[in-house]
Structure 1
């Protein structure tokens, strides 16, 4: 049985005293080595969750535990060593004159010895397939390349949790897929817990579990396949259903009997080929 790594216990949060609650009595658990997607429309509370996990915000009610330690002003610096975050705009995270300087920055702040820093720079740039850009100025990179460097910078501090907060929102579909494939592979190799926060359902197919937020509460919590089957309900709360799910729905309406809810194009083609082989 996997150990609980992040626990929200009856957490409520609002930005101002008399403003509406952004999160309402929220409880969930994320485990070691688990890949969880948190999705929801703009304003559903999903990005607030990321800020609470990292101690950028603190709840007014309830408590948050990271690796068994309650998040508060006394523990926040120790907890931030366990959490790595990649945001929507990587330009906001760059501080170094070159790629290697940027990857080194977080390690320098933690007092990691130089020899170990050099080793980690090489390992993390290789992991995100950016070794050839080591001496490049970050602003000369493409959007996808910048996100790879942002991920490398976070991985270099060896966190237990990697959080992507709308990290692929500025990329095209090909770039999004490449980044999600990369982080999924890295989380598996390094034993990281991975949390992706997004409004794009196409991004969640590799997750073990999906938490759907709506108006500050958990609307649903299930596997991606189970979530994709709720097409009508997802539209009603303002989420776009992936094209594959829409196509599967249309096929069912013309009496094409799919045996399972396809998560991607490959699964849909496999289903159709299987049906064709039987006829």
Structure 2
């Protein structure tokens, strides 16, 4: 069974501290793109670490393809679940880009011939082939994040977690990274789990899980989630600018047929209404 599943998972960092996650249950299917959002402290980054075996649940169970994530299975799990962090410098261990992409494969004991092939494929996939001999610290923020993604891709996981992976990039770099990720997901039938504050990233996902105070507060499509503007504001979350603009247009008496997620959809709605007059 190809899915990540949380079964009644609870977690706290110390016994005398409050629960960060409280009885959380959900499933993420193979080739699905799920965004996990929530205010700071809602538990979303803890979820990412539990999926990858960086943490283990105190109560309940996390399963990857039917296999429980624990100290005995963690290395097998990490072959299936790759993780890209907010700051790519924290992931770099090699003196060159090539060494860095090779590191994860070496840990998994892959044969050298396969490693050479995977390094080439992974760097090509993220547009970094020409930087193979470069020192990672000399790259730009966007280039570093591409190398971090290539390092994860090289192990060939089924699931990739992006934990605020574009937070340190400028808008152009963010857009380029997400375009790369979207193309890779289609090419390789990957599951993507994005932990993010970026509302534009959220609109691209197929499903959204909203966390609030350590619990799953709401699940649904981005369109369904952002339609609940007042509820989101109550738990400290915002909505995209286009959603706010659409609300103002509706308040002015224009009857939009559906909740637009981006500028293109809003223009299409307005053009349709104009054509009907």
Q: TM-score range, shorter-chain basis?
A: over 0.9
Unaligned runs of 5+ in 1: none
Aligned counterpart, 2:125: 127
What's the counterpart of residue 140 of structure 1? Answer: 138
Aligned to 2:149: 151
Q: Distance in 1 between matches of 2:133 and 2:184?
A: 23
SS at match of 2:184: helix
Q: Give unpaired runs (5+ residues) of structure 2.
A: none
Matches within 5 A, 1:211-222: 211-222=209-220
Q: Which residue of 1 aligns with 2:269?
A: 271
C-alpha displacement at 1:4, in angstroms?
4.5
User: How many residue pairs were aligned?
Assistant: 277
Corresponding residue of 2:25? 27
- 1:115 aligned partner: 113
Q: CA–CA distance in 2 between the matches of 1:136 and 1:76? A: 31
Corresponding residue of 1:176: 174
TM-superposed CA distance for 1:174, in Å, is 2.1
What is the distance in 2 between the residues matched to 1:89 and 1:118? 26
Q: From 227, 230, 249, give the equivalent of 1:229.
A: 227
RMSD: 1.1
After TM superposition, the score normalised by the length of structure 2 is 0.97
Change (3 A) 1:4 1:111: closer
1:79-94 aligned at under 5 Å gives the runs: 79-94=77-92
Q: Give the stretch that moved more between structures: 16-25 or 106-115.
A: 106-115
What secondary structure is seen at the aligned counterpart in 2 of 1:178?
A: helix
The equivalences for 1:59-78 within 5 A come to 59-78=57-76
| Ranges of 4+ aligned residues in structure 1 off by more than 6 Å | none
Q: Is 1:203 the equivalent of 2:205?
A: no
Q: Which of 152, 159, 162 is 2:160 aligned to?
A: 162
Q: How high is the TM-score relative to the length of structure 1?
A: 0.96
Question: How far apart in 2 are the matches of 1:256 and 1:137?
Answer: 55
Question: For 1:32 and 1:39, how far apart are their aligned partners in 2?
Answer: 20
